[in-house]
Structure 1
Amino acid sequence: MARLAVRKAQYHWGWDWGPILCPCGPWKPVRLEQYSARVAELKVDYKLDSDLPTVRGTITTKVDGSHDGPVIYRLSDNTMGIQGAMLSVSSSSNVWAAEFSLSNPQLWYPHGYGSQHRYEVTVLLLKKQQQDGLNQPTQCHEHGLSQAIGFRKLELVQEADHIGESFYFRINNVPVFCGGSDWIPADRFTPRVSDDRYRSWLQTLVDGNQVMIRVWGGGIYEADKFYSLCDELGILVWQDFVFGCGNYPCFHSILQSIEQEATAAVRRLRHHPSIAVFAGNNEDHQVQESFSLTYNPSDTDSSSWLTTDFPTRYIYESLLPSIIAAEAPTIPYHPGSPWSFSGLSTSDPTVGDLHRWNVWHGIQEKYQIFDTLGGRFNSEFDMEALPHLPTIKHFCSDQDEAETHPQSRTLYFHNKADGHERRIATYLVENFRCVTALDAYVHLTQLAQAEALMFGYRGWRRQWGEGGRRCGGALVWQLNDCWPGTSWSIVDYFRRRKMAWYALRRVLGSVAVGVKRRHHDWSVVHARPAGRLAWECWVVSSLMREMEAVVEVRFVSIDTGKDIKPTLRRERVRVASNGTTMVFDGVIDNRVEEPHVLAARTWLDGELAVAAMDTDWPQPFKYLDFSDRGVVAKASISELRVTAQKPTKGLMLEDRDGVNLSDSGIDVVPGDEQVIHVKGMKDGDEPLRYRWLGM
């Protein structure tokens, strides 16, 4: 509880993915500035016309000190050779403003939707004209400030519908499904995170087809470089204010401190086109629910909230929104994450955003039904997995060989989640045959995580295009780690990508095909298979134009590798733009059909290369025989070509430093050669090792 009264990174006190290491002292550069006048604040307010042909706005400057000369403003675009200058007269109030209008502006888009165009805004404080030695008037500036901005029309769309109320983002009139990740500080000691590490992490997000990152409220307001890279790379940022999992005190002096902190943070970040929303906190309203603290949605007297046993409501529903209204009125504000606006429950699936933790936490549902557990925007969910073996060997390097096994004390110490052994074991024993070798155990935990997140993301992205934007986005907990350990990260501390990262990359492609049979809960019927199961196949697209596609579904025996019935194939399927297109449905009759894989593929506009593929398997995997798969992998320094005589699940390649893979954790069916492109291998290097389920 002591952390709640200290305005520093809350994760320093430990979290369920990181150790207790609480540094103190200055952690950013300290400098002494001397000036007679300086630009203290530069603010650009603008608005795009409804159909985006013109942007109009005002540049406002506040000046500290005494300045009696003119102020020069420039709005420039170096990439297009455009440069404009606006001059305003000096003002005794130390506030200057200049209006501007720009026709047909180049707009900023998230990656995959358009370019990330930015303009440069510059303000210069000029001294009064003086005479030089040739009696010519000269001007020099006392101080100046520049910042890059991107013009975009951003809306958080919350409209009543047949479900409840929508929750999705629209950028430049384009609805965007926000598939992405949650972000924690990238190190226990934040000064160690260099600009290069920031770039590597955020490029990993883009390479994974993810479009949004949520800066979590238990960490920090990230470095300037983080946000400028998001601008450059086209990543939308969900920015929490830094409050996490607590009932924060609200005595007078700390409220003053919080107001200064939040105002400074908003002023620093508001010009970044990547900032999509400010959220008041992480899970603090869930604390109110968990401890039955006072919360009356109909009580609108904010001063009265300070006298209750849940005073922190005042921060999120009064103080912070007033700061946003004053400092960044065009950026949406959301009181917390999760937050429903219904005032009834933070787990309301019909409105607001949702943290879906009934897989892993809570009642520990089967991960196969993840897609049925979501809401309008799923801002947290996940499954744990061990990191790759090189990361484990990093923190086991000084131990004897006896510590490198799945139940060692060292591995236990490097997982801070309560009950993690029991929960990992539950999901493994429910779905897979037990293993004891560490490399096989790592593979199973990563496969379980990849499968769980695939079931969630695949279904939620399908829902984006169904029923009026039923699901507006999904942010996996979490992208990264702050130390080498086991957690919910999909990329570990050393930026080694787990199988889940590749699974999400496939699901979030610009075009993706999905195939799924209806879930049959084997645990409540004592392992008896269902007699008949419905199945469906669909295509989702984020492209802003209709596409013509070929879609097929094969039915491949797991035991023999033979097709048990004719392939379904449909030509000239019209794939809806930015939506979902249903293609096939049918019924599996387990009474007469042997266990088989549904293998779906799609090709676009007559292209020869497969655009996307997906497989659906009988569940759970532990009931299936994966022996003798007939896997053949032909390796060169630039690619790996994989074939199999029988359906093969979760073929994971070794994650080797300096080697980049186009895919991993793949499924292989007979007659469908998979090609994995490899970068970074050299002549004479040992071939990459790999394993699959049941190997």
Structure 2
Amino acid sequence: MNLNGVWRLGICTDEEYRKLKLEIKDLETLEKKGILVVNGTVPGNYELDLEKQHLIENPFFGENLLQERGRERNHLFYGKTFTFHAEDQKEYLLEFEGIDTVAEIYLNGRLLAKADNMFLPQVFLIPGNEWKKGTNEILVHILPIAVEARNYDYPLYVDTQKYQMDAMYIRKAAYMFGWDIFPRMLSGGIWKDVRITEKDEITWKQSYLFTRELSEDLQTCELEYFYELDLDELAYAGLTLEIEGTCGNSHFFEKTDVWGIAGHLRIALENPKLWWPRRTGEQNLYEVEVRLKQEKTLLASRSFRFGVRSVELDRTSLTSEKGEGEFCFLVNHKKIFILGTNWVPLDSFPSRGKDKIKPALDLVLDLDCNMIRCWGGGYYESDEFYEICDEKGILVWQDFMEACGRYPQSEEFLKKLEKEVTFHVRRLRQHPCLALWSGDNENDTAILWGTNGRVDPNSNRNTRRVIPEVLRMNDYVREYLPSSPYIDEVAFKNHAGDSRIPEQHLWGPRDYYKGDFYKNAIAHFASETGYHGCPSVKSIRKFISEKALWPYQLNGEWLLHASSPTEKMEEPYAYRIELMASQIRVLFGCEAKDLEEFSFLSQISQAEAKKYFIERFRIGKWKRTGIIWWNVLDGCPQFSDAVVDYYFDKKLAYDYIKRSQERVVLLCDEPEENGNIHLMASNDLPTGEKIHYCVTDVTCDVVAAEGDAFLPADSCVEIALLDSRKRKAFYKIEWKTEGKRFFNHFVTWKAPFDKVAYLKYAEKAGIIRRE
């Protein structure tokens, strides 16, 4: 029975609630206490209901974000009556997939439990005779986080960014407290589905089929199936369990007698059809059915999809100044070059994120990314996300939900984290797309730099004790990185910081994108790097009021959407508006004269920067092994590093990235001192490719190089040498393979560019089309 839809929603401040001097456990009490009660929506966030009923204005428009501070101490009451005819002899599960966040849950006036984790479902087993005959009632009282966070002790060690201290103990998505890419919106609500299901007498508590071993020649493998059953009072005698899987003409079958509620079953498979990441091979998925039988009677069954594959992470603790080190993913014993994007919540209001998963992943697929990094400041995505990644071959780097802080180490907090991690490991481990568990986002660096190196990040019990133990018990076959970036004991003892480790977040000064920081970075793998790009004017007009559109200086609305919680210039994130302007000045040596030019020049700056970052890593293949740029899509209307804004309007960088991520792509390395430029060809295909290429300097219509080349499989090789000593060239690079034409570009100029000349030749090269 689905309980989604219209609920009654009560809202009052903490001061109003305390004056009531009683608990609200049912709808009758709620409706009679004189507080605001409206129709609410489940799944939902309460501000969306208030906006729908014109009780508040669009929170994302103009200065309306400032009103969120006044709502941080609101109590929420979600109530629903429904008709339910339970059978006395049966048992039922009342399931809340997600409540945001601290809540008391009542059924017919009886307290079932107090929830305290946005990331965990709340499931209650209720016998049929405990339901009322006919009409029943649920009431969920959601308490304000800004009040609940005061119930904890905060030692000196616990620390984070300015706006997130209340997030340290509360298991609520960190971005909601205010981030540089999200406004502070401590929203609340029942953000996922609510349902009642009849409990099966016989079912699975756990089910996990995995690749135990895959031979080096990929011709044989051994699978292992682990199960834990809920058999109620059923005896073992006569019970058998069988598992069967089919993918095309490949098939396996195995069965065993049941001698306990849990067991392991090994399966030998010859000539398996393998699951490969996109850009590398096919995404073969076995349709698997597991059946529990007593004699010949089928008692229960379950079906799922399974991919035969192995994933390894080859990494070193340090990278030398000469670039000696490693951080490389291997799938099915083969090195995989990663071109990926970071994934953040798709909406400030988490209840709206699920509807955007498919269109957001369509963007990722269009850009031909083969990995997504699920960032630790958000929430764990829904099943649909991982299912699509399975089908499309997108590897998933999965952070656990901690970010940019020194989190509590108390036993109470560790137990809460252990429960959360165990649930999601068991929920997600069946997905072949899942390549890596990562303990957190940037907590190692937060500990190191926040304590001036006095505290070793390896003493963090969250990521060095709790999570590894959960993984050892529940998913020991999958790789684990305690933090991103990860500062292990060797790196810490060598005072390496985060500049000499193989995997880095390459943000740096965010000055000229070809500056020393980016050009000289020795990272083998960048799991974050990005560059600002202004949204289109069309999009800006949707969230900035007419009076505040221009100029950007000392502009409170621009700051709020940058994403500063106030309009004060001294706030930590206020720099992000001036950052865009500075990047325009660096690249073009001028100020933008109006909003239209500001937006356009900023997008060019971002596009060239992200193109440079990606191509620098591709040219360095295999010394460099992957880049996960930041990021594909905004989760709110803002000025940011995303290449597609909140309204799905693509910035110029989107097209530049798409060209730079072609599976066969021609690229120019940076000019040498003598003016020579190496024309490189990167081939990510598993087969060698023949191409015909032509490089034209569109400033004078001179062909700089033309010819045929053979590109070895999975390689990056030099195919020509360009001489740019006599002129400032704007190269259009064209190539043809298997009847298809592709193109790229390269500008030999040093910043600042002549903006008129850039626009002229960019249009001539076909990379920009101005309406």
Same fold (TM over 0.5): yes
Q: 1-side partners of 2:338 and 2:214: how far apart? A: 22
Q: Is the 8 A contact 1:154 1:171 kept in 2?
A: yes
Equivalent residue, structure 2, for 1:482: 635
1:36 to 201, 206, 216: 201
Residue in 1 that maps onto 2:243? 74
**Structure 1 residues 517 and 352: CA distance shift in structure 2, 3 A:** closer
Q: Cα distance 1:82–1:594, how it changes in 2: closer, same or farther (>3 A)? A: closer
Q: 1:423 aligns with which of 563, 568, 579?
A: 579
Shift of 1:159: 5.9
What residue in structure 2 maps to residue 134 of structure 1? none
Q: What corresponds to 2:324 in structure 1?
A: 164
1:3 is matched with which residue? 167
- Give the C-alpha shift of residue 603 in structure 1: 2.9
Contact 2:512 2:587 in 1 (8 A): no
Residues 40-439 of structure 1 mapped to structure 2, 5 A cutoff: 40-46=205-211, 47-64=213-230, 65-68=232-235, 70-77=239-246, 80=248, 85-91=253-259, 93-126=260-293, 128=294, 139-141=297-299, 143-158=300-315, 163-195=323-355, 197-292=356-451, 313-341=460-488, 342-344=490-492, 348=498, 350-360=500-510, 364-367=511-514, 370-396=518-544, 399-400=545-546, 403=549, 406-407=552-553, 408-416=555-563, 417-432=573-588, 433-439=590-596
Q: Is the 8 A contact 2:485 2:498 kept in 1?
A: no
Alignment TM-score, normalising by the size of structure 2: 0.71
Q: How much has 1:479 moved relative to structure 2?
A: 1.6
2:282 partner SS: coil
**What SS class does the counterpart of residue 423 from structure 1 fall into?**
helix
Q: Check the 8 A contact 1:340/1:353 in 2, yes or no.
A: no
Tell me if 1:580 matches 2:700.
no
Residue 294 of structure 1, CA deviation = 5.9
- 1:518 is aligned to 2:671: yes
**Partners of 2:210 and 2:308 within 8 A in 1:** no
Decide whether the 8 Å contact of 1:348 with 1:375 is kept in 2. Answer: no
SS of the counterpart of 1:690?
Answer: coil
Question: Does 1:502 find its partner at 2:629?
Answer: no
Aligned equivalent of 1:597, options 707, 725, 730: 730
Aligned counterpart, 1:448? 605
C-alpha deviations, 1:81-125, integer Å up to 9, x for none? 76655332222x311333222211111111122211111333334
Task: Note the alpha carbon deviations across 1:215-264, whole angstroms, 9 max, x for none.
Answer: 00111111111111110111010101111000000111111111111111
Change (3 A) 1:481 1:312: farther
Change (3 A) 1:499 1:600: same
User: 2: CA distance between counterparts of 1:539 and 1:475?
Assistant: 21
RMSD of aligned Cα (Å): 2.7
Partners of 2:304 and 2:610 lie apart in 1 by 38
Counterpart in the other structure of 1:569: 706
Q: Quick check: 1:359–1:367 contact (8 Å CA) kept in 2?
A: no
Aligned-pair identity (%): 23
Distance 1:319 1:66, change over 3 A: same
Question: Contact 2:666–2:733 (CA<8 Å) still a contact in 1?
Answer: yes
Which amino acid in 2 is paired with 1:461? R
Aligned residues: 584
Q: Alignment partner of 2:616: what SS? A: helix
Per-residue CA shift, 1:269-290, capped at 9, x if unaligned?
1111101111111111111222
Tell me the alpha carbon deviations over residues 492-549 of structure 1, each in whole angstroms, 9 at most, x when there is no partner. 1122221112111111111111124438xxxxxxxxxx9x534221111101122233
Whole-Å separation in 2 of the counterparts to 1:198 and 1:447: 28
SS, match of residue 478 in structure 2? coil
- Bigger shift: 33-42 or 167-176? 33-42
- Are the structure 2 counterparts of residues 545 and 25 from structure 1 closer, same or farther at C-alpha, using a change threshold of 3 Å? same
Query: How many Å separate the matches in 2 of 1:450 and 1:236?
Result: 25
Report deviation, 1:395: 1.5
Structure 1 SS opposite 2:724: strand
Work out the CA distance in 2 between the residues paired with 1:212 and 1:347. Answer: 26
Contact 1:516 1:616 in 2 (8 A): no
What is the aligned partner in structure 2 of residue 15 from structure 1?
A: 179
- Counterpart of 1:626 in 2: which secondary structure? helix
SS of 1:648's equivalent in the other structure is: helix
> How far is the alpha carbon of 1:140 from its aligned partner?
4.1
Retained in 1: the 8 A contact 2:426–2:474?
A: yes
Report the Cα distance in structure 2 between the residues aligned to 1:317 and 1:346, rounded to whole angstroms. Answer: 19
Contact residue 371 and residue 457 of structure 1 kept, 8 A: no
> One-letter code of the match for 2:327?
F
> What CA deviation, in whole Å up to 9, does each residue of 1:164-217 have, x standing for no partner?
32111121233211111111110112221235x211111211110211110001
State the one-letter code of the partner of 1:477: W
Question: Structure 2 vs 1, CA of residues 292 and 443 (structure 1 numbering), >3 Å: closer, same or farther?
Answer: same
Q: Distance in 2 between the 1:193 and 1:556 partners?
A: 44
1:455 is paired with a residue whose SS is helix
Aligned position for 1:610: 741
Q: State whether residues 184 and 216 of structure 1, in contact with CA within 8 Å, keep that contact through their aligned partners in structure 2.
A: yes
The aligned amino acid for 1:52 is L
Equivalent residue, structure 2, for 1:545: 687
Q: Is the 8 A contact 1:88 1:96 kept in 2?
A: no
CA distance in 2, matches of 1:359, 1:212: 26
8 Å CA contact 2:632–2:644 kept in 1: the answer is: yes
Q: 1:75 to 1:387 in 2, by over 3 A?
A: farther
Q: What letter matches 1:615 in structure 2?
A: F
AA of the residue aligned to 1:568: A
- Kindly tell me: are residues 244 and 365 of structure 1, through their superposed partners in 2, closer, same or farther at Cα, counting changes over 3 Å? same
- 8 Å CA contact 2:323, 2:522 repeated in 1: no
Asked if 2 retains the 8 angstrom alpha-carbon contact of 1:340 and 1:347, the reply is: yes
